Amino acid sequence: MSYIDGFVIAVPTANKQKFIDHAAGADEMFLEMGATRVLECWGDDVPKGETTDFRMAVKAKDDETVIFSWIEWPDKKTRDAAMAKMMDPDNSDPRMDPVKNPMPFDGKRMIFGGFVPVVTLEK
The average confidence (pLDDT) of the chain is 93
pLDDT greater than 90 at residue 95: no
Over the stretch 61-92, which tens digit does the pLDDT of each residue have?
999 999 999 999 999 999 999 999 888 878 77
**pLDDT score recorded for residue 103:** 87
Q: What is the Cα–Cα distance from 102 to 92, expressed in whole angstroms? A: 15
**Which 3 state secondary structure label does DSSP give 75?**
coil
pTM of the full structure: 0.89
Confidence of residue 40 (pLDDT cuts 50, 70, 90): very high
> CA separation (Å) from 97 to 22, 40, 46, 82?
12, 21, 31, 16
**pLDDT score recorded for residue 77:** 98
Domain chopping of the chain, boundaries:
3-115
Architecture of domain 3-115: 2-Layer Sandwich (3.30)
Confidence of residue 45 (pLDDT cuts 50, 70, 90): very high
Q: What is the mean pLDDT of residues 108-115?
A: 96
pLDDT greater than 80 at residue 18: yes
Over the stretch 2-15, which tens digit does the pLDDT of each residue have?
999 999 999 999 99
Which helix (H) or strand (E) is 87 found in, with range?
A: helix 76-87
